[in-house]
Structure 1
Amino acid sequence: MSKATIYISLGSNIEPAKYLQSGLDCLQREFGELTLSSVYESEAVGFEGSNFLNMVVAAQTDLDVAEVNHLFKQIEAENGRKSGAKKFSPRTLDLDLLLYDELILNSPVELPRSEILTNAFVLWPLAEIAPALEHPIAKQSYAKMWQAYDKTKQKLWPIDFEWPVGQVS
């Protein structure tokens, strides 16, 4: 069976550099080689809180969608994420499966994830590492979608970020 290409959103606003690094370590342990976007800092969306660090990572997997989702919940828990915390709240580590090949699903998770279309902190890093890839429903490339995105909606800026395996910038 050939491996699926998955795109993962990572975010944190509690000791964010520490938890992004830890999340990357866990993902590399599970999936091997990763393709990393730049790391972006943004204001909290949906609640008052410290700024978030966000990025998108691509990996290859032979796990199915449910197994990937379960693995992400495990990694979040290992990194101090409280299960059952409300959606708009501070977090140590948030891992969201954005894309799993071209799959379109509503269960066990929504694919492609709707935040791709609404949140700059997901779309910009995704457009950075997969500019020519097309959204399976919108049928537009992520580069075109980012170009058309209303950049006044959310404040977002790239930052320097060190990860022991290599600098992300």
Structure 2
Amino acid sequence: MATVFLSLGSNIERNRHLGAGLDALVKAFGDLKMSQVYESEAVGFDGDNFYNLVAAIETDLSVGELAIHLRQIEDDNGRLRSGPKFSARTLDIDILTYDDLTGVVDGVRLPRGEILKNAFVLLPLSELAPDQMHPVEGKTYLQLWEEYDQAAQKLWPVEFNWP
């Protein structure tokens, strides 16, 4: 079984789509661990604020099989792929890490570069797995968060009710 960290985000009917995404992950993979939910301003475009969190799952699926499954969960939640890369979305689920794999695996770059670039990924990841080592940087996620320019992107915890 591989341990996989996933980033989930939504800025359209945020509670509904994040809840549905988490329900689908539990149905497919069983128990999951998750960070608290953070609200952040849209990055890369003008739009409504996002809700973001990081979840950890265990899976026997390959990276490619997992990516296909996650894309289906996004599609089931009305994800439109015809717009620009940076745009509003009902549900976005990205593979951040898959065990300690690095490089391009089944078309997926691991670890995902957003870990080091975006507070809305790094903060919840550092909360969920503070002592876990980034497979390339050789630092824990907590160390990376402490070194991150925390004023660069605004985000704040929000109450999120999900079973």
Aligned to 1:121: 120
Question: What is the one-letter code of the residue matched to 1:5?
Answer: T
Confirm whether residue 59 of structure 1 aligns to residue 54 of structure 2. Answer: no
Confirm whether residue 74 of structure 1 aligns to residue 72 of structure 2. Answer: yes
Give the structure-2-normalised TM-score. Answer: 0.98
Question: What is the one-letter code of the residue matched to 1:70?
Answer: I
3-state SS in 1 of match to 2:61: coil
Q: C-alpha deviations, 1:56-108, integer Å up to 9, x for none? A: 00010000000000001100000000123321000000000000000002241
Aligned to 1:23: 21
Aligned to 2:8: 10
Q: C-alpha deviations, 1:94-137, integer Å up to 9, x for none? A: 00000000000224111000000000000000000100000010
Aligned to 2:131: 132
After TM superposition, what 4+ stretches of structure 1 lie above 2 angstroms from structure 2? none
3-state SS in 2 of match to 1:161: coil
- Cα root mean square deviation, aligned: 0.7
- Across the two proteins, how many residue pairs are aligned to each other? 162
Question: What is the one-letter code of the residue matched to 1:109?
Answer: V
| In 2, Cα distance between equivalents of 1:8 and 1:46 | 20
Confirm whether residue 153 of structure 1 aligns to residue 152 of structure 2. Answer: yes
Aligned to 1:90: 88
Identity of aligned residues (%): 53
Matches within 5 A, 1:31-46: 31-46=29-44
3-state SS in 2 of match to 1:69: helix
| In 2, Cα distance between equivalents of 1:53 and 1:5 | 23
Question: What is the one-letter code of the residue matched to 2:64?
Answer: A
Aligned to 2:108: 109
Cα drift, residue 30 of structure 1: 0.6
Long gaps (5+) in structure 2: none
Give the structure-1-normalised TM-score. Answer: 0.94
| In 2, Cα distance between equivalents of 1:28 and 1:86 | 30
| In 2, Cα distance between equivalents of 1:50 and 1:134 | 33
Long gaps (5+) in structure 1: none
